Structure 1
Amino acid sequence: MDLFSLALGALLNAVGELTDDDFTRPSGCEGWLVRDLVCHLVIDAQDVLITLVTPTADPVTHDAVTYWRVAHERTDDPLAALTVRLAAAYGEPWLLQHHVDDVGQAALRAAQLADPTLKVSTQDMVLCTSGYLGAYVWEWTLHHLDLVAHLPHLPGPPDRALARCREVFETIAAPFPAEWSDVDVLLVGTGRRAPSESERAELGDLAIPYVLG
């Protein structure tokens, strides 16, 4: 749960440093500008708030790792086009910046107040609150990498969050070469960056990318 706050706090701080021009730059999410990604973060934070107030008495079915569905190809997300339209509707970048900070800070406060043992329900899954918030470390950290993909002047995700995401990824996929950086493992492993010839040789038969959604 501490990593949730660390990862989300760092992401919100990075969004707060965006200039108006930054919002028009491409993000690391294929087909999305930075403004589209930031709009998606609004929806993510709202989902966290909704889930934290959706308790259940049903038995736990998933944890921070099994929460993620894994595929090797990206599928069309019916909400992707809506996200782009919503982002454009904000007009002024500062409005979107304000909104994501507003709901993001609320998600931070809600997470800090939450009972880690409480069971919550989301997307036909039941998790302990600690497991659900742990799953979102992946979401915040990967999207932080997406945010700074073409904005090198912005700070990247915290090292602890990157290390945890690598641990999750290698649990789902397979161990990557130990000398690889956490960032390279996540970017190459999720298809955000194509491996070089030498990297591909090191990976051997490992099937990439892994799409977690």
Structure 2
Amino acid sequence: MDHFSRSWTALRAAVGELSGQDWERSSGCAGWLVRDLVCHLVIDAQDVLITLVTPADGEPTADAVTYWKLVDPPTGDDPLDALIPRLAAAYGDPALLKFHFDDVGSAAGRAAELADPGLRVGTQDMVLTAGDYLSAYVMEWTLHHLDLVAHLPAAAAPPAETLAAARASLETIAGFPFPASFSDTDALLIGTGRRQPTDADKAALGDLATRLPLVLG
């Protein structure tokens, strides 16, 4: 729960610092500008709000790690992926998008702080505790924070503790640890295909290099 708040607060602060041409720069998500990514984050925040008010019966069927599934790399044919840039462009003035993100994002943050960690909630045909659901989102926030600042060298990076938590989750999902020589950021970027490994990286990975990238869905 603490990692959720820290990662989300840091990501919202990074969006709050965007100005001018920052919105038109490429993000770390292939094919998306920064404005497109922020529009996606609005939808993510809405999902958090919806899930936290969707109680579920029965025993949990997933936890913070098994919430994530390894899927095939995107082909670009997903209708929602294609919709995001059109939605982002429809805002016109980036200030409107920033306001909407701050408004919905603040509400999602407050809802997370007020949530009972033991409450069972339903999403995507899964039942999780609210605590596990919010913990799963540390991966989402951390990866997208890295995406946001990918081409903004002056922007603040994600907090060290949430980078470490996301790396630990990714290693559990993958079923293997990344080389100790990899920083948490490199493990996340290389592990999810956001950065191509160098020859030195491939040497450190050994046979594991053939099992990358890990695409989460």
TM range, normalised to the smaller chain?
A: over 0.9
Task: Determine if the alignment matches structure 1 residue 79 to structure 2 residue 103.
Answer: no
C-alpha distance in structure 2 between counterparts of 1:72 and 1:203, whole Å: 21
The residue correspondences of 1:23-172 to structure 2 (distance < 5 A) are 23-75=23-75, 76-172=77-173
Q: Deviations over 1:6-49 (max 9, x none)?
A: 00000000000001210000000000000000000000000000
C-alpha distance in structure 2 between counterparts of 1:133 and 1:12, whole Å: 16
C-alpha distance in structure 1 between counterparts of 2:108 and 2:38, whole Å: 15
* Distance apart, 1:78 and its partner CA: 2.1
Matching residue within 169, 176, 179 for 1:177: 179
TM-score normalised according to structure 2 size: 0.96
C-alpha distance in structure 1 between counterparts of 2:132 and 2:58, whole Å: 15
Gaps of 5+ in 1: none
CA contact (8 A) 1:27 1:150 kept: yes
CA contact (8 A) 1:72 1:208 kept: no
> Secondary structure at 2:207's aligned position in 1?
coil
Gaps of 5+ in 2: none
> Secondary structure at 1:45's aligned position in 2?
helix
| 2:112 partner letter | A
The count of aligned residue pairs is 213
RMSD after superposition: 0.9
* Distance apart, 1:169 and its partner CA: 0.7
Match of 2:4 in 1: 4
Identity of aligned residues (%): 65
TM-score normalised according to structure 1 size: 0.98
> Secondary structure at 2:79's aligned position in 1?
coil
Match of 1:211 in 2: 215
* Distance apart, 1:198 and its partner CA: 1.3
Q: Deviations over 1:155-203 (max 9, x none)?
A: 0100010000000011111111112100000000000000001111111
| 1:176 partner letter | F
> Secondary structure at 1:7's aligned position in 2?
helix
